[in-house]
A = this chain, B = another copy of it.
Amino acid sequence: MSTIGNSQKGRKRRPRSHARPSAAAAALQGLRGARMTDVANLAKVSAMTVSRALRHPAIVDPETLKRIHGAIEATGYLPNRIAGSLASQRSNIVGLIVPSLRNSLFAETVKGVADTLGDAYDLLIADSGYVLDREEAAVAAFLSQRVCGIVLHNTKHTPRTRRMIQSAAIPCVETGNLVRCPIDMAASFSNHKAAYDMTAYLIGKGYKRIAFVSLPLDDNDRARERQSGYLGALKAHRRAIDRNIILESAPGLRGGAEALIELMKKRPRIDAVFLTGDVLATGALLEANRKGWRVPDDIAIAGSDDNELQEYVSPPLTSVRFPRYDIGCTAASMLLKRIDGVPSAERVVDLGFQIIPRAST
Contact = CB atoms under 8 A, between A and B. Distances in A.
A3 B304 CA distance: 66
Contacts of A289: 314
Given A107-B101, A169-B32, A308 B252 contact: yes
Contact of A82 (B85, B102, B282): B85
Interface in A264-313: 279, 282-283, 286, 289-290, 308-309, 312-313
A205 interface: no
A146 B21 contact: no
Interface string A110-126: 11001100010011111
Interface residues of A, number: 63
A86 interface: yes
A272 B74 CA distance: 55
The secondary-structure label for the interface of chain A is: helix
A31 B162 CA distance: 13
Nearest to A252: B308
Nearest to A160: B76
Contact of A107 (B18, B31, B107): B107
Contacts of A100: 111
B111 A101 contact: yes
A127 interface: yes
| Nearest 10 pairs of A and B residues by beta carbon | A104-B104, A31-B167, A101-B111, A253-B312, A81-B144, A82-B86, A125-B125, A82-B85, A286-B312, A78-B143
Given A114-B126, A257-B312, 18 more contacts: A32-B169, A80-B144, A82-B82, A82-B86, A82-B91, A82-B145, A82-B146, A93-B124, A93-B145, A104-B104, A107-B107, A114-B127, A119-B141, A122-B126, A124-B125, A254-B308, A254-B312, A283-B312
Interface of A: 18, 21, 29, 31-32, 76, 78-83, 85-86, 89, 91, 93, 100-104, 107-108, 110-111, 114-115, 119, 122-127, 137, 140-146, 163-164, 167-169, 252-254, 257, 279, 282-283, 286, 289-290, 308-309, 312-314
